[in-house]
Amino acid sequence: MSRYDSTTFRMLNHHIDAPKVEIERLLDQSKEVAIKANQVLMQADEAPKHFYLVESGLLRAVYVTPDGKEFSKEFYWENDIIFGIRCMLTNQPLPYSVIAVENCALFQLPIATYRELVDRHHEWKNYHIKQVETHLLYKEIKEELLLINSNQQKVEEVYRLFPDFVNRVPAILLATYLGLSPVSLSRIKKRLNLA
């Protein structure tokens, strides 16, 4: 099978309107990575050297407080890209970890090569801008969801807007995403006939 037939190439080509030779350059430095559920992909307080394309599986970005309380920042699934944008922009360690929720197949690509391509080629710069814009859009939607709604409204909205998401994410992790205790989420779901 040629590199042009690989899943990695198809994923990159789908996301990036760039010449094949540029995608090949990044592909030459990529590798397939398989991780099991609950395995850490990116560790908090470390600066990742790679970004990832999710071929299959579900992962979450999670903050853990000093007393062990978890807050899920976001989730990633098929065809998502895990950048660690804050780290990429500031060169500082990640303040959160990325952990597999399910067994995952990913493609690991070097951030340094990606940054070089973004700096030198407009197709990659456009791709990067699109990724940052998409990230900001989802961040704003989540902020609105969490800041202006009651707990019941949060649950109603997330079930209405993201039915595939709530059916896939374990309830305990959904609670950490919504800033609720698992007990509160369970009670609200029962009240709304979502349980």
Give bridge partners of residue 168 from the DSSP assignment.
none
Q: Name the 3-class secondary structure at 159.
A: helix
CB 174 within 8 A of CB 166: yes
CB 32 within 8 A of CB 105: yes
The residue ranking higher by pLDDT, 109 or 24, is 109
pLDDT at 8: 65
Q: Is residue 191 one of the residues assigned to a domain?
A: no
Per-residue tokens: 34: 């398989």
Domain containing 28 — which CATH number?
2.60.120.10
pLDDT at 1: 44
The answer to whether residue 41 scores a pLDDT higher than 70 is yes
Range(s) of the domain holding residue 93: 3-121
Number of domains in the chain: 1
Q: Is residue 145 one of the residues assigned to a domain?
A: no
Lowest mean pLDDT: which of 111-120, 154-163, 185-194? 111-120
Q: Is residue 149 one of the residues assigned to a domain?
A: no
Q: What is the pLDDT of residues 102-144, one digit of tens each?
A: 999 998 988 888 888 889 888 888 888 988 898 899 899 999 9
Is the pTM for the entire model greater than 0.85? yes
Q: Is residue 140 one of the residues assigned to a domain?
A: no
Place of tokens 């090569």: 113
Lowest mean pLDDT: which of 8-22, 98-112, 158-172? 8-22
Rounded to the nearest integer, the mean pLDDT of the chain is 89
Distances in Å between the Cα of 74 and the Cα atoms of 59, 124, 188 are 9, 24, 21
Nearest alpha-carbon partner for 58 in 37, 44, 34: 37
Q: In what order do the strands lie in the sheet with 70-76?
A: 40-42, 97-100, 59-64, 70-76
Span 13-41, average pLDDT: 82
Q: Is residue 169 one of the residues assigned to a domain?
A: no
pLDDT at 43: 96
Q: Is residue 34 one of the residues assigned to a domain?
A: yes
- E strands within the chain? 31-35, 40-42, 50-56, 59-64, 70-76, 81-82, 97-100, 104-110
CB 77 within 8 A of CB 57: yes
Q: Is residue 55 one of the residues assigned to a domain?
A: yes
Q: Is residue 101 one of the residues assigned to a domain?
A: yes
- Between CA 28 and CA 147 the distance in angstroms is 44
The answer to whether residue 74 scores a pLDDT higher than 90 is yes
CB 29 within 8 A of CB 113: yes
Q: What percent of the chain has pLDDT over 90?
A: 57
pLDDT at 7: 66
